[in-house]
A and B are shown apart, each in its own frame.
Chain A
Amino acid sequence: MPITEADIDKIAQLAHLEITDEERRALTPQIASIVAYVEQLNELDTSAVEPAIGGLTPAGERTETTRDDTPRPSLGQQLALAEAPDPAAGHFRVPKVL
């Protein structure tokens, strides 16, 4: 599947990236060549293979990963807001949404 500059614009939009004309020109052949490279996977017949999604090790899968649903200390409002670019009255302030 050839990748066009229009595809790159669509992907950038999905990824919340505002790319420049120069970036679009550079990225189009780069992404196209990487996609062409990864398409070598089509040489392998995987029709009978279960995808490796989930725990990677049997011991990991056996490990209990739940905990009691009880409140625990957390970062707290003051620390959580300490690194915010624009905190206001205990909230994260952002530009208007619409």
Chain B
Amino acid sequence: MNTIERIKERRASGVSVREVVEPAVNAAESLNETLNAFLQIDRAGATKRAAELDASGETAGALAGVPVAIKDNICVRGLQTSCGSHILGNYHAPYDATVVERINQAGAVIIGKTNCDEFAMGSSNENSAFGVVRNPWDTARVPGGSSGGSAAAVAARIVPVALGSDTGGSVRQPAALCGVVGVKPTYGRVSRYGLVAFGSSLDQVGVLAANVRDAATVLSVIAGRDAHDATTADVPVPDYASELTGEIKGARLGVSRALLGEGLDAEVRASIEAAIEAYRELGAEIVEVDLPTAPYAIAVYYIIATAEASSNLARYDGVRYGFRAEESENLRAMYRRTREAGFGPEVKRRIMLGTYVLSSGYYDAYYLKAQKVRALIKDDFRRAFETCDAIITPTAPTTAFMIGEKVDDPLAMYLNDIYTVTANLAGVPGISIPCGLSNAGLPIGLQLLGPHWSEAILLRLAHAYEQAHPIDARPPVCAASD
């Protein structure tokens, strides 16, 4: 399999960066007709970069010669940043996001920008202005969202790793639906400089990878304090990959039986129950935890996330960059026409909802109330983590659903995020790993949540499970292996 470790082995035996990168670009191009995972494939840039790396002979970087895909809401200098929206027009970023700068310094080769729900708002990728991404396991089904292009690109083995963003589950949920690993770090762990803002108290850049070790390697590269993002915390960054000892004896794993009840698909439940037993066999102690306010998380999330989005997306007004509606009689009309024509239905719906909950007379009833319940959710987690090291849940309540199945029911779509939004509200890290395939051959994901800054423990727990229960199946739509 095409992992970072495998690429390093091949490089050590004389394989050039070009020989690693070219097949990745070829696969991205040839599979894009089927998957629509990429919005831009940078063959010229990737080829040039590979040649430079080959000429320099540099092999020391943690990601030396590793092809990477970047979600199209993260800025890469010279490449497009559309956020899956028409409103950004033909925008090309004039600077690199900090995460991009860091992976480049580590030797990565960016091969393209991946499709996503418009401004990262969605759980199925159906909200992209540039067409839905198709799930490599079943192309009639969604890949999840919003980082669906990044998840599909990793699942189809086009790239070993990709960057995404997670505001309410947008890395973990598509990871689960596509059968890959997805990490949402602690709030403040990774810089958002150059990530297009959606919900600023929730957004984190995350990693999608074919295995836990690769996710750990990339996280060590991108994490840490950044002067360009005041929300990044001054907390040391461990070498996460070196923490993957396989040793989890005595780890206390929390289970909330209440979260395994109503609304959860029976096959997903059975798979999570089996994973809990597997952890017990690996030496973990299973403890019952109570998260009484967790059922309110979706309501809290859709107030806070939309409120923040309505504010963050006010900047798209046709003045400084992106699309502008023509022939407006005055400035206000230009703003309104630009935004009407530039934004898609889900983004408008969320801007409207966010504007409503922040509007005069409603602020206390909705936004302030939601921030208070958010405090209760944070407190639930704080108390739970006094008795356990991590909590295990499903990542999503079902496997990948059919394209079109939920587009007419926004609330049903939102409920897909029931297991993931709590981590963003509490600022804690989460990881989704594959834990099985359904009878229909669709991936199921389990989620581990931990206290702030516990990524090393989560990765160790995830890695131990992955080693004990590897999933060797590959999706029907998949790049040829080297």
Contacts and interface: CB of A to CB of B under 8 A. Distances in A.
B372 A50 contact: yes
B373 A44 contact: yes
A36 to B, nearest CB: 9
Interface in B296-352: 296, 298-300, 302-303, 310, 314, 317-324, 328-337, 339-340, 343, 345, 348-349, 351-352
Given A57-B188, A63-B232, A83-B321, A16 B335 contact: yes
Nearest to B186: A57
A27 to B, nearest CB: 6
B328 A52 contact: no
Contacts of A17: 336, 339-340, 343, 348, 351-352
Interface string B248-268: 000000000000000000000
Contact of A33 (B231, B310, B328, B411): B411
A79 B321 CA distance: 11
A30 B410 contact: yes
B321 A30 contact: no
Interface in A39-98: 39-42, 44, 46, 49-53, 56-60, 62-65, 67, 75, 79-80, 82-86, 92, 94-98
Interface string A1-39: 001000110011011111110010011001101110111
> What range describes how many residues of B lie at the interface?
35 or more
B355 A34 contact: no
A35 B302 CA distance: 9
Contacts of B281: none
Contacts of B452: 56-59
B427 interface: yes
B342 to A, nearest CB: 10
B105 interface: no
A85 B324 contact: yes
Given A35-B356, A41-B300, A60 B330 contact: no
Interface string B90-122: 011011000000000000000000000000000
Contacts of B371: 51-53
Interface of B: 89, 91-92, 94-95, 186-188, 201, 225, 227, 230-235, 293, 296, 298-300, 302-303, 310, 314, 317-324, 328-337, 339-340, 343, 345, 348-349, 351-353, 355-357, 359, 366, 368-376, 378, 410-411, 414, 425-427, 452-453
10 contacts: A15-B310, A19-B348, A31-B352, A34-B411, A56-B427, A57-B187, A57-B452, A83-B94, A86-B324, A92-B319
